[in-house]
Amino acid sequence: MSTLILSQYFINKIKTGHARRILSDAGCRGLYLDVRPNGKSFVLRYTDHAHRQKSQLIGNANIMSLKSARKIVRNFMPRDVEVASPLSASLPPKMSRKTLYRSYISERYLPFAFKTKRAAAWEEILFRCHLLPVLGDLPIKDISKNHIAALVNDKLNEGYAKGSVNRMIAIVKTSLTKAVEWSIDGMDRHPLQGFRTLRDPPKLERYLSPNENERLMKAVEQSNSPMLKFIIPFLLLTGARKREALDARWEHIDFDKCILTVPLSKSGKPRFIPLSSAVMTILSCARAEVAQHLGAHCPYVFPNLETGKPYISLFHSWNRVRHCAGLADVRMHDLRHSFASALVNRGATLYDVKEILGHANFTTTQRYAHLSHDRLMDAASFASHHYVNEMRAGE
């Protein structure tokens, strides 16, 4: 049994079909998420005055919201059970003098993160899968650079990329920064001060050539994933980020102006993606495909046709396609780079690229500056031909 701060996002994303799991909600004592191969449900578990274990079904987690389940438990729980403080409190109660890192993360840091950070769900996954199994049983005051160095070494030996390991280091550092700020167990200094992340030089950008694009599209058409034939061309022809496409809803598309609105982009602001006539054709075909399987009222543009919800991941389908096309080194994000490359080499300015790709600052866009070399050489040649012809005319 695992204990964690449940969130509606996490509950929606968790998959069934595997072995049974019971997850205790650290935000509402007595509430459990029972995940079985055939579904998910909320359950109240408690011990009565006779010290007997009791369980009571609250409702189907695919229908009932987490908020409703917590309300039911808090309002109708038998008196035998002590109810924990609600998550809406400004901060969880103070920790004991020997606070374990696991307790600090579940009872204090994650509740704070879920109220203040967009990436809290992703942080919860990193803690649950990578950090707490290694650091969870250590008193928070005892965590040292040696512990983190051992964690880094283990993760590299397991094959994780340096960038992934650096994200793990960063999240541990952030959690300990908050522990110092909140004076957990009297902490007055950061135990990882001066601990450096791994050197991870940026990789060369990968762009698809016309020939590679043709091979990729052929492989996509042969894919067993029915929506991939729409998603991949959409990404390549719009430069959209993967999640911007997968989470897109029909209500976000203005068919008159041919614009997709991303309500909350990576920069934290809305952004607007122009849609070409070719993209509008892709959307029309995707809509017909979705309507055939799910009906005309599905709100998502590229849903999983089995669930009607956005895909959580497309990695396995994409991995088969890129290997089939002989493009094993091409990542899905490289479709965005290829779109930018096409823009620059067709005469778009870097300012145009910045606006279309939705970069928060110009520095990010400048990585594409070198792509205009051929176009600038053509312009320089044009100028030289002009003056050579003028000089010959004067002879």
- In the DSSP assignment, the letter for residue 129 is I
Q: Which residues contact 186 (CB under 8 A, 6 or more apart)?
A: 97, 141
* Integer Cα distance of 120 and 109 in angstroms: 10
Task: Return the bridge partners of 120, or none.
Answer: none
- In the DSSP assignment, the letter for residue 369 is G
- Nearest residue to 36 via CA among 17, 14, 58, 13: 17
Provide the token pair at 117: 């950070």
* Integer Cα distance of 162 and 275 in angstroms: 36
Please name the amino acid found at residue 16. T
Beta strands in 237-301 (DSSP E): 253-254, 259-262, 271-274
Please say whether the beta carbons of 303 and 246 come within 8 A.
no
- Nearest residue to 226 via CA among 304, 172, 322: 304
Please say whether the beta carbons of 301 and 249 come within 8 A.
yes
Parallel, antiparallel, or unpaired: how do β-strands 21-25 and 2-4 relate? Answer: parallel
* Integer Cα distance of 91 and 108 in angstroms: 7
* Integer Cα distance of 362 and 366 in angstroms: 6
- In the DSSP assignment, the letter for residue 139 is B
Provide the token pair at 194: 């001066």
Provide the token pair at 305: 């046709």
Q: Which residues are catalytic?
A: 241, 266, 333, 336, 359, 368
Please say whether the beta carbons of 272 and 258 come within 8 A.
no
* Integer Cα distance of 37 and 134 in angstroms: 28
Rg (CA), the chain: 26
Provide the token pair at 199: 């050197």
